[in-house]
Copies of this chain bind each other. A is one copy, B any other.
Amino acid sequence: MSKFWSNELNKLKPYVPGEQSNQIIIKLNTNENPYSTTHNVKKVLKNFSIDNLKLYPDPDSKKLKIAIAKKFNINYYEIFLGNGSDEVLALAFLTFFRNNIPIIIPDITYSFYTVYCKLYNIKYKLVPLNNNWEVDLTAMNQKNGGIVFANPNAPTGNAHKKSSIIKLLSDQKEHVILIDEAYVDFGSESTISLIHKYPNLLIIKTLSKSYSLAGIRIGFAIGSKQLIDGLKIIKNSFNSYTINSISSAVALSAIKDEKYFNKNCIAIIYTREKIQFALENRKFELLYSKSNFIFVKPINISAVKLFIKLRKLGILVRYFSNKKLKKFLRISIGTELNMNKFIKNIDYLIIN
């Protein structure tokens, strides 16, 4: 508290990111990719002309947009880039949701969404997940000033049927429907192909997870030109140059190495399926994940106890003290090797 703070500030509870720790041997708590990005990035950094750094970056990052557009078979002006998908989300909330009609958000999802609402005084309404712990797109199909959900959802990890999303898009055309596809590359289906049919559809993506590039902070939105143009006005009223020159070059090289990207995603999916099977065999309850993490409920031990025991062994997973989530742990998918070690430690802990 300080007399120099705005009133809003005293009420804000910021998002709390997962712990970053040096004492951890196996880090499975922040949904990072356990594998390195393409080796081409090494060459980019080695050959980068430091003389360029004296200049401001291209405020439109056009080269990178053209590469992304090519990958998704869209136009470069249907892309908005940001300093991580969190920034893209923050600017999207500011651009589209200050309309005094509550926006609809699932009650269990990425917790940053409601933080943005509080930051900007945006009204929102939480809709509970259904009995299968799925985002209830039917219940969310109601009067709204905007709709926000993640596909797959976090921290539950499950994906939604494309038909349910299309039903929602067909019924709700007055305000922006924002779908956060941060985890979509791990086996579920993107809705990018729908942007030309639904001009109010905004899709958020990131290079942090599937491209192993959480460190460079590049996220983007894909949507109709009118949505992207709106985002650009807000961004240019906030910070003209949000994408630094080095991250832009790194991202470009990673986007172009489609083969490495696919191999990396397949490795995660393979390990995830194995680990889900192994945990089911050890009597964990789990939701069927399409993400690079799994959301599991241990049966013979409480989640918090297991979290603490794993931590003592140098294995960090994510525990949420929130009432609805406290029976679960969210476990990021690590390397095949580390996940085998993880299972061995689980066996050791459950026996002891």
Q: Could you say which of A33-41, A157-165, A269-277 contacts chain B?
A: A33-41
Known: A54-B35, A214-B55. A4 touches B237 (CB 8 A): no
Are B242 and A246 in touch, CB under 8 angstroms? no
Report how far A200 CA is from B4 CA in the complex, Å: 7
Are A50 and B54 in touch, CB under 8 angstroms? no
Are A215 and B54 in touch, CB under 8 angstroms? yes
Whether A134 is near chain B, meaning CB under 8 Å from some CB there, is: no
B34, B90, B237: which contacts A14 (Cβ < 8 A)? Answer: B237
Are A238 and B45 in touch, CB under 8 angstroms? no
Chain A, range 245-289, C-beta contacts under 8 Å to B: 245-247, 250
Whether A171 is near chain B, meaning CB under 8 Å from some CB there, is: no
Whether A150 is near chain B, meaning CB under 8 Å from some CB there, is: no
Are A213 and B20 in touch, CB under 8 angstroms? no
Whether A98 is near chain B, meaning CB under 8 Å from some CB there, is: yes
Are B54 and A37 in touch, CB under 8 angstroms? yes
Whether A188 is near chain B, meaning CB under 8 Å from some CB there, is: no
Write 23 A-B pairs (CB below 8 A) sorted by A numbering. A4-B200, A4-B227, A5-B230, A6-B94, A9-B234, A12-B237, A14-B237, A30-B55, A30-B56, A46-B46, A53-B214, A53-B215, A54-B212, A57-B214, A83-B242, A84-B242, A86-B239, A86-B240, A87-B239, A216-B245, A217-B242, A217-B244, A246-B247
What's the dominant secondary structure at chain A's contact region?
loop
Copies in the assembly, this chain: 2
Known: A17-B56, A215-B54. A244 touches B241 (CB 8 A): no
Q: Could you say which of A113-121, A295-303, A307-315, A338-346 contacts chain B?
A: A113-121
Report how far A302 CA is from B69 CA in the complex, Å: 44
Are B241 and A84 in touch, CB under 8 angstroms? yes
Chain B residues positioned under 8 Å from A73 (CB to CB): none
Contact size range, A? 35 or more
Report how far A88 CA is from B273 CA in the complex, Å: 43
Are B246 and A250 in touch, CB under 8 angstroms? yes
Are B53 and A96 in touch, CB under 8 angstroms? no
Whether A52 is near chain B, meaning CB under 8 Å from some CB there, is: yes
Which residue of chain B has the shortest Cβ distance to A218 in the bound complex? B244
Are A55 and B42 in touch, CB under 8 angstroms? no
Are A239 and B34 in touch, CB under 8 angstroms? no
Known: A53-B214, A175-B4, A217-B57. A241 touches B17 (CB 8 A): yes
Whether A23 is near chain B, meaning CB under 8 Å from some CB there, is: no
Chain B residues positioned under 8 Å from A241 (CB to CB): 17, 84, 86, 214, 217
Chain B residues positioned under 8 Å from A175 (CB to CB): 4
